[in-house]
Amino acid sequence: MQNSKRGAYLSCSRRLNTRLAEWMINAADFYVAYQFVSSAIHDKTPFSFIELTRTPEGRIAVNPDALKEMNGAAGLPWRYFEYVGEEELKRVLSWWYQEYKKEGGERNPIAEELLRENDSEGSDQDGIGDGYPREAAEARDSDQASFYRRERRAPAPSHDEHPGNRHGFRGW
């Protein structure tokens, strides 16, 4: 890694009071989530496609074939959420649902529950839990969060601008 990049990343992690390795994992988690959500919105995938339900034990369940298809469209490994677990899936689905509703999508009661759960677990305004208690999230410098929000609102580059972009990722 270039020393200038390492220094920039180290500076970011210090500003957020976290270790560099943890900051990089959080950045990668955000990137993957962003890729999934952007692909779903770009493809105009209805939220009902995932067939979100709750098990009798209260865990979330989705149609595994639909999830694999969406992972593939986003350029993720088909079994990505099996590797990272249910909590990450909840955060990503919550974020997708918020964006889906902004686009005029239909209400989903189980997704609404996920939003409330994420809110109580220290999520930022975008519905993605960042792992920090709400008080710490509010107290820390907001440069990183505002960067993400500003970038997500930027116009999406055209496919021609990024010829290697097979999955509709509306990136940085």
Residues comprising the chain, all counted? 172
Segment 92-99 shows an average pLDDT of 95
- The pLDDT of residue 6 is 83
- The pLDDT of residue 122 is 54
Q: What's the pTM value of the predicted model, to 2 decimals?
A: 0.66
Residue 87 has pLDDT above 60, yes or no: yes
More confident residue, 170 or 45: 45
Question: Model confidence over 64-75: pLDDT tens digits?
Answer: 999 999 999 999
pLDDT band of 162, cuts 50, 70, 90? very low
Q: Is 2 buried (19+), middle (13-18) or exposed (0-12) by CB count in 10 A?
A: exposed
Q: Radius of gyration over alpha carbons of the chain, in Å?
A: 17
- The pLDDT of residue 128 is 46
Instruction: Annotate 106-138 with b (16+ C-beta within 10 A) or e (fewer).
Output: eebeebebbbebbeeebbbebbbbbbbeeeebe
Across all residues in the chain, what is the average pLDDT? 76
Take residue 42 and report the two structure tokens written for it: 């770009």
Determine which of 5-9, 123-127, 152-156 has the lowest per-residue pLDDT on average: 152-156
Question: Model confidence over 107-145: pLDDT tens digits?
Answer: 999 999 998 887 766 544 444 444 433 444 444 334 444
- The pLDDT of residue 36 is 95
Please state, for a pLDDT cut of 90, what percent of the chain lies above it: 45
Residue 9 has pLDDT above 90, yes or no: no
